[in-house]
Structure formats: structure tokens, C-alpha cells
A and B are shown apart, each in its own frame.
Chain A
Amino acid sequence: ETGVTQSPTHLIKTRGQQVTLRCSSQSGHNTVSWYQQALGQGPQFIFQYYREEENGRGNFPPRFSGLQFPNYSSELNVNALELDDSALYLCASSHQRETNTDTQYFGPGTRLTVL
């Protein structure tokens, strides 16, 4: 059983650019959640994808968007990057059933720096 993986590990972009972060979910999991963790703070929920559809969103602007693919891997896209987007982006996968919510397992994160 493979764990949650994320790519790339580190990324440097300039203000105004666009970025795509990738996440491969743990085998058997159908749900992916994305979190943003600014330096010195706890992670903040961005959104979640369940069976290829967005299933809940936190307080993030529309320039944060995502996708989930048939194999349940996921992408996080951020347009028009701002300096405050610099953070560790964490992906978590879980197996969600119709009537239950399961534990989330986290990947190692992608460190994004916006200059």
C-alpha cells in the first residue's frame, strides 16, 4: 500500500504567475483534501474533491481551483500568484463513504515560494 505523494517538493514562482501542484492519493482512497499552511500557523482547508467533484470549500478566492482524476489523484491550481500564497501546501487522502467520514492521511507537502 503506497502512501500519499506530492510533487514537486519545492517550487519558486514570481507574483502573477500560475502554478499547478499534484497529489497522488493513497491506494483505495476516493477523496482528496487540500490545505494551505503559512509559516508558523496551522493548516487551513482549501477544498476537497470526492469522486471527481468539489465537495466543500474553505475561505479561498476562485483563483484557487482544483481537479480530481478518475484514478483519484488531484491537482491544485493557483492563478495570479500573490506574495501571501507562499506556504506549504498539503494534500490529504481518505476513503469517504456515504454515511461515514474516514481518517485523512497527509502527504509530505509542496513548499511554494512566491517572489
Chain B
Amino acid sequence: KQEVTQIPAALSVPEGENLVLNCSFTDSAIYNLQWFRQDPGKGLTSLLLIQSSQREQTSGRLNASLDKSSGRSTLYIAASQPGDSATYLCALLTSGSRLTFGEGTQLTVNP
């Protein structure tokens, strides 16, 4: 059974700081890994998707990496802004087309 762990559970940083969110998983048999953003009480916004054969993806100030051999992914956010405050979830797509999610990292960027 795939298990996904996200560390830290919560993070508070001053505006402008670069930060790294971590995601670890137990089963490397994945199709892809996605990072999502979720604002309070809202649905999920996909940020980055890394296919199983890829090592990283970049979009603007966001960079996500994937290391299947070690069962880890990181989401790097450069020059954080208060608008980046949200919960960040990583999810793995496995056989059966189901996404397995971590419990998220709640990020607060203070002005």
C-alpha cells in the first residue's frame, strides 16, 4: 500500500524567502507525481506534474523534483510571496488510476 508523507506539516516564513517542501513515498511504482495547491475551503489547483520518467519540472518560481529510487520529491518555491500562503499537497498516480495524497504542508508567508 502506497503511503505518502509530507514534511513539515506547517511552515511560516517571511516574504522573499526561498523554501523547500518535502514529500516521501513508499512505493516507487508510480505513473506520475503532482503537486497541488489548496486554498482554505477550496478545491485543488494543479501546480506541477512530473512523469515517472522525468526528474524535474519548473513553472515560474516553482520547481519540483522527483527521485523514485529514494522515494522523494521536493517542491522549491523561490522568493515567496504572501499570495503563496496555502496548503500544498503532493499526490502520486498509481495503478488503478487512483491518486494517493499526503496530508499536506500548510504554508504561511508573512509580509
Contacts and interface: CB of A to CB of B under 8 A. Distances in A.
Interface string A77-98: 0000000000010101010100
B46 to A, nearest CB: 7
Interface of B: 4, 31-32, 34, 36, 41-46, 49, 89, 91, 93, 96-104
Interface string A29-53: 0010101000011111100101000
Interface residues of A, number: 28
A45 B96 CA distance: 11
Contacts, number: 63
Binding site of A, secondary structure by majority: helix, strand, loop or mixed?
Answer: strand
A107 B43 contact: yes
A40 B104 CA distance: 8
Contact of A45 (B45, B46, B99, B102): B99
